[in-house]
Amino acid sequence: MEKKLIESDFLKVEYDFIEYYVGMAKMVVYWHVKALGFEVIAYCGPETGYPEQCSYYIVKNDIKLVITSASNPKSYQIVSFVDLHGNGIKRIGVKIKDVPTFYQNALEKGAVPMRFPYTISDAHGSVDMASVKIFDDNEIVFVDYDKYDGVFMPGFEPVESGEWDFDKEESYLQDIDHIASALRINEIKIWETYFNNIFSSKTVSCFDERQKDGENKIGMYLKVLQTDDKQVNNVLVEPDQHKNTQVQLFIDQNYGSGIQHIAFSSSNIFKSVEILRKNGVKFTSFPDSYYNNLRKKYPKLDVDKMQKHGVLCDVIDDTFLLQVFTAPIGDRATFFYEIIQRVNYYEGFGLDNIHALFEAMEEEVMMNKS
């Protein structure tokens, strides 16, 4: 009997893995292990039957990353991506049920196919996969592991015990909260419809700070898309043609639209920042006026602690979001990480902080002029 999915099955999607294409995988893996506390679980490459790549599967709690580089110049897909974009995210893996049926449904709703459903297998079973296009040079990979009991997926073998063992302190990073992408002007509507159709997600927030009529606006347009169970959250951002912003800088140095940052949730953001900073991770700093304004607005908050660690805070009623941003982790001013902690079930995305930071920076400019 043919297996069929009901509509509710299409809502049961969640982030699985994020795959990076980089110039030298082993060095990027080393940084994630030493700086962020990841563990190397498995490896795929020429030694395991895949002659054109070297891929490391690394994990921190529920965060799963695949770091991939080319093993020879013939690996044109990897080499060309890195040549154009630098080190960056190529694929978002999403775990689903019944890849062929889900994929066909996605195509009917407008998804652009990259690889039609296929199966890979080894002694541990089989994995069903398929992929669709997003942005200029990225993909969403649909994955179903129901028939597989290996370490990750076929082609990956466990790393030897002790090979990647380093003394490291707990970094408290837990899972992927959301993925943010930088788009060209007028692309948001295209990809908003695309994602919402494929994942049955909804647009839950809109932040329009594009300049017009001489107003002093921040200079960006942002939308947040979220599935009903809040397992898949996509943040889409456009720059403003009238103002230079970090969104436009990403597009310029990435040579196109793409994934700008991943937000990792932390169970203790202050400890995360403390450990990561000790490990050499650099964070974006914020003006003192931001924290002075925060003290005035929320006198009961421990703003001194936030300022000491460079942590931002967004408050909604009795819930709040703590957040920090790393500096770009590569040579280009493109991809970076965000670390957040949601307190008392905070459900927003820190959009008020964008205003607060803008106002604080304007105050700093005025003070420096006086």
Q: Could you report the per-residue pLDDT of 62-101, keeping only the tens digit for each?
A: 999 999 999 988 899 999 999 999 999 999 999 998 999 9
Tell whether 217 and 258 lie within a shared domain: yes
Phi, psi of 2 (to 5 degrees): -70, 130
Residue 309 lies in a domain: yes
- What CA–CA distance (Å, rounded) separates 142 from 134? 13
Residues 167-192 have a mean pLDDT of 94
Tell whether 123 and 185 lie within a shared domain: no
Residues 165-183 have a mean pLDDT of 92
**Does 42 have pLDDT greater than 60?**
yes
Residue 164 lies in a domain: no
Output the pLDDT for position 8: 47
Tell whether 116 and 180 lie within a shared domain: no
pLDDT band, very low/low/confident/very high, at 358 (cuts 50, 70, 90): low
Output the pLDDT for position 165: 83
Tell whether 207 and 262 lie within a shared domain: yes
Tell whether 264 and 307 lie within a shared domain: yes
**Annotated binding-site positions:** 178, 261, 338
Domain count of the fold of the chain: 2
pLDDT band, very low/low/confident/very high, at 105 (cuts 50, 70, 90): very high
Tell whether 100 and 228 lie within a shared domain: no
Residue 365 lies in a domain: yes
- Write the single-letter amino acid at 34: K
Lowest mean pLDDT among 191-195, 332-336, 348-352: 348-352
Tell whether 178 and 106 lie within a shared domain: no
Q: Which of 144, 146, 150, 106 lies closest to 128 in space, CA to CA? A: 144
Residue 16 lies in a domain: yes
- Residue span of the structural domain in which 214 resides: 173-369
Domain boundary among 158, 185, 220: 158
**Does 363 have pLDDT greater than 80?**
no
Choose between 80 and 211: higher pLDDT: 80
- What CA–CA distance (Å, rounded) separates 137 from 123? 33
Tell whether 127 and 202 lie within a shared domain: no
Residue 132 lies in a domain: yes
User: pLDDT digits over 188-201, tens only?
Assistant: 999 999 999 999 99
Residue 101 lies in a domain: yes
Residue 214 lies in a domain: yes
pLDDT band, very low/low/confident/very high, at 319 (cuts 50, 70, 90): very high
Output the pLDDT for position 11: 58
Lowest mean pLDDT among 30-44, 108-122, 150-164: 150-164
Domain boundary among 125, 158, 191: 158
**Annotated binding-site positions for Fe cation:** 178, 261, 338
Tokens of 131: 């992929």
Tell whether 220 and 153 lie within a shared domain: no
Token look-up 């929320």 returns 298
Tell whether 250 and 123 lie within a shared domain: no
Percentage of residues of the chain with pLDDT beyond 90: 74
List the 312-316 sheet strands across, edge first. 202-209, 220-226, 233-239, 173-182, 258-266, 336-343, 319-325, 312-316
Domain boundary among 134, 158, 182: 158
What three-state secondary structure class fits 250?
helix
Tell whether 261 and 341 lie within a shared domain: yes
Tell whether 177 and 154 lie within a shared domain: no
Cβ atoms of 338 and 262 closer than 8 Å: yes
**Does 368 have pLDDT greater than 60?**
no
Cβ atoms of 233 and 340 closer than 8 Å: no
- What CA–CA distance (Å, rounded) separates 3 from 85? 41
Output the pLDDT for position 2: 44
User: CATH number of the domain that 100 lies in?
Assistant: 3.10.180.10
Token look-up 């103002």 returns 243
